[in-house]
Structure 1
């Protein structure tokens, strides 16, 4: 059976240097792989698909040549959808109507909304993977949070629904005083670096409760040349629904930085360069353990969310080589990936889309893939 699969995004085709109208290379790679699997790919805006059926879309003029020209068409709902909107739009609810329309049509949505930070903590605990977690609690009261910080010596206080390192603070106890640092401060430019007494800490913690926050023990991360390193590990599912490693990308914090996010001043390293730097300091990068951690968590995640097929995990390694999950990224930025990783990512995404489409056809009345695909998360 020939399936039609869709990519829901606000990125439209544009006229390229050769004069032809087409979308970015990643979408063309998707279309090429879908075609190789006997299917057809369409590109559409999530808002348009939420309002009508059929809806405006784009597809290659010649399906066998996705790197040539594309054309605008009006197309009915596809058999499966890859939600590929920018993360800030997804967080703001731009794709909610499209997901509701997909659910009504029992159309699986790949890259669905996934649990927030606190729900991920509970999911890992329930799956027997708590060994990968730093001690983490929900911020309920300032007094209790201050006691955790006193006991640990250092903690991260971060919003449950944040991304890009926005609002993530590191709090360090220094005798009877506390240093609060933040690389990205909501509503203002520049970094925050403030030393307070205990009363000041309690007032600051109380102010964090205006939106849900977590308090997480600060793991003493592997440092290279005096700068902390963590690892973005991206995994995706293939045409048989199995999780595969796409790549491991080290992220190097700015000197004195709180987080490693590129938008907060961090840098991307190649894995080979990171390993050379580590060897020069008598340290090592446990690549196999990093991959095993990400694949184990992804497997647990997809048991709860069957249409989940892509995840990026920010993993930390301490000086003893123990691996920790810092947080999960349901829409990991492709800008971190190498060209080879982006190509592999597109191939896997296309095959998983076709897998979802075929699963839907085989189980028209079931909920194993479709029923959970568009469920809104509970923080």
Structure 2
């Protein structure tokens, strides 16, 4: 029997997902555990966490060795606990005796450079690192309207929109599902604001693209890809995320609504549907290949694709720890595969690892006879 561990800074946050996966684990001859990386004893390497008991359908406190198969669902913020956890995760991922079903992606700037130098470059939004306020305002002067987003982060946190009209610079941010607008009384104040946010995080700047629907609501296509039990990429589902009218974000954490992909597709000119579908298919086929040519293997990817009014497509974000809400709400039939996929892929990796170890031991033994 294999052991499978969900790793999260707060395992209770994704309680429903972890539980639904764990309910199906006996079918794969797997025991499930969940824990935070900071709860690993540095001396004994034993973990204080929770074990799932299928007979009782519940998690109970337990101490256990580090599981054979690990699923990293950690989301890191700027605080001491997260930084400590990140260091521990790097240590775990460097251990050759442990199997991770996915290794994560680098920050947005590194990922941008990878995609911008690939055959998907026509779908990549022009991006520059924010070095200082003067450079940022010069970029704004040329583009008239830009987006500032943190190099690291998810859920739309920290994103701001700057716009220059005549001599006025305004800023739009969305917080707690509210659209907040304000104007800077002078260039000097705008510079101070940019320098202030730069001291907290590294930022990127992009031209603002009109990726809105007819009601002027920002929207995008979220596509979830995962590897199956044979290690092949498969699409679990796709859906539309729509934000607030005249807003900036289409993230669910910012209050976006979801809609089935086919509903939106039916609103498109029928003559353009086939071409659009082929373009999306090309993106979802090529993107995982390009990423895994540069970075360690992944298990799942959430791809956010923006659609301009001329139906041109733009890769807005690629997330190696995607949520499942869009797919669960818009493609209900995908639910079972979402809960079994980590177990199927993890078991495949464990079997491969075991076969490779046995083959090595046999070869080593023959050499010493």
TM exceeds 0.5? yes
Match of 2:162 in 1: 171
Q: Which has the higher contact order (CA 8 A, sep 6+)?
A: 1
Give the 3-state SS of the residue equivalent to 2:139 in structure 1: helix
* Cα shift readout 1:10-66 (whole Å, capped 9, x = no counterpart): 4369xxxxxxxxx9553344345544444443333433335443434544545xx6x
Distance across 1 between alignment mates of 2:343 and 2:137: 48
Match of 1:129 in 2: 120
Deviation, 1:268, is: 2.1
- Could you tell me which of 64, 67, 70 is aligned with 1:75? 64
Match of 1:18 in 2: none
Distance across 1 between alignment mates of 2:335 and 2:295: 24
Distance across 2 between alignment mates of 1:295 and 1:69: 38
Contact 1:224 1:281 in 2 (8 A): no
Match of 2:151 in 1: 160
Match of 1:354 in 2: 347
Task: Say if 1:85 and 1:213 are closer, same or farther in 2 by CA, change over 3 A.
Answer: closer
Give the 3-state SS of the residue equivalent to 1:194 in structure 2: strand
Match of 1:331 in 2: 321
* Cα shift readout 1:139-175 (whole Å, capped 9, x = no counterpart): 1233332232232232101111232222211122323
Match of 1:372 in 2: none
Match of 1:8 in 2: 7
Distance across 2 between alignment mates of 1:270 and 1:308: 26
Match of 1:191 in 2: 180
Q: Pick which of 96-105 and 300-309 moved more.
A: 96-105
- Could you tell me which of 300, 314, 317 is aligned with 2:307? 317
Deviation, 1:120, is: 0.9
* TM-score (ref. length: structure 2): 0.80
| 2:211 counterpart of 1:221 | yes
Match of 2:198 in 1: 209
Deviation, 1:216, is: 0.6
Contact 1:99 1:109 in 2 (8 A): no
Deviation, 1:134, is: 0.8
Match of 1:374 in 2: none
Contact 1:5 1:354 in 2 (8 A): no
Distance across 1 between alignment mates of 2:18 and 2:184: 48
Contact 2:218 2:242 in 1 (8 A): yes
Structure 1: gaps of 5 or more residues: 14-22, 366-379
Deviation, 1:122, is: 1.2
Structure 2: gaps of 5 or more residues: 359-369
- The count of residues paired between Structure 1 and Structure 2 equals 348
Contact 1:168 1:184 in 2 (8 A): no
Give the 3-state SS of the residue equivalent to 2:249 in structure 1: coil
Deviation, 1:242, is: 1.8
Deviation, 1:283, is: 8.5
Distance across 2 between alignment mates of 1:283 and 1:202: 44
Deviation, 1:107, is: 0.9
* More helix, by proportion: 2
* Cα shift readout 1:254-299 (whole Å, capped 9, x = no counterpart): 01111112332322222233334x3499996945533532442222
Deviation, 1:340, is: 3.5
Deviation, 1:98, is: 4.5
Deviation, 1:230, is: 1.2
- Could you tell me which of 40, 43, 47 is aligned with 1:55? 47
Contact 1:81 1:110 in 2 (8 A): yes
Give the 3-state SS of the residue equivalent to 1:337 in structure 2: helix
Q: Pick which of 101-110 and 189-198 moved more.
A: 189-198
Q: What's the C-alpha RMSD, in Å, of the aligned pairs? A: 3.4
* Cα shift readout 1:202-226 (whole Å, capped 9, x = no counterpart): 4443434323111111222141322
Distance across 1 between alignment mates of 2:117 and 2:273: 31
Distance across 2 between alignment mates of 1:229 and 1:300: 25
Give the 5 Å matches for 1:132-147.
132-147=123-138
